[in-house]
Amino acid sequence: MKRLDGRIAVITGGGRGIGRATAERFAQEGAKVVIATRSEEPGREAVAAIEELGGEALLLVGDSGDRDFSRETITRTAQHFGSIDIVLHNAAYTEGGWLDTTDDEHIDTMFRTGLMACFWLTTDALPYLKQSKVPRILVTSSIDGNKYSMPGRSHYCSMKAGVSGFIRSAATELAKHRITVNAVEPGLTLTDVVARVIAPDVMDELVGEIPLGRAVYAEEVASAFAFLACDEAAMITGQAIAIDGGQVLGTDKVMAFDDH
């Protein structure tokens, strides 16, 4: 028996990167997956990949930073599959911005997409999660803003720090309903978005700071989410697991590979 057999999972930002890798992993574990994404073509490709694996997926196209689309995502999932067991908020706006040049629209988009959607998806999904035997709320957070920082990322770091506060408080509030709330904090992860926003020379410098010597694969983050969604993680709640190759440890790259 697969670990997520028969469970219904909603994944925002499910058309690319970590979201897509997790959608495919959940499907491999037996879940039926709803992929909510604003990018229709990547979303269709993700659904096709899941169907090729023998899984079942539903594509919903829209902006997770929009309150109405969040509500629609939950409503249409329940209508299509009849229940909801897992909600994973993965969508985020990742563009950086300097404090003296970033405008209000940039900041608003950052927080609506990355943080406000946590509240929206949770409140909309609660009636269904309360009826589930294995209810899970999951969020893609980041080491940024929690254990790590970079110039030009204060808005993103603030948003992700807010995510960590959300999971801890929501975990205590929803424990009476047996709903667990957890996050994964990826470090530098190889996705198309990261390749677009980080220059190759900066990427090399960042990889040089990672004790294990390479960036994270999206599939490795997906594995952590699959564990947090399964029965074995029933007593884990309010936690954020860093998947970063030791990036936040600050170990010098020479020392990390010293034979001694």
Q: Are 244 and 16 in contact (CB under 8 A)?
A: no
Collapsing DSSP states into helix, strand and coil, what is residue 179? coil
Query: Residue 215 gets which letter from DSSP?
Result: P
Angle between helices 218-229 and 17-28 (to 10 degrees): 50
Q: Tokens representing 33? A: 């997956």
Q: Tokens representing 46? A: 């993700």
Helix (H) or strand (E) holding 86, with range, is strand 86-89
For 232-248, b/e burial (b = at least 16 CB within 10 A) is: ebeeebbbbbbbbbebb
For 70-79, b/e burial (b = at least 16 CB within 10 A) is: beebbeebbe
Query: Residue 233 gets which letter from DSSP?
Result: G
d(CA 187, CA 126): 30
Residue 156 known to be catalytic? yes
d(CA 103, CA 83): 40
User: Which one of the listed residues 93, 128, 148, 156 is annotated catalytic?
Assistant: 156
What residues are labeled active site?
A: 156
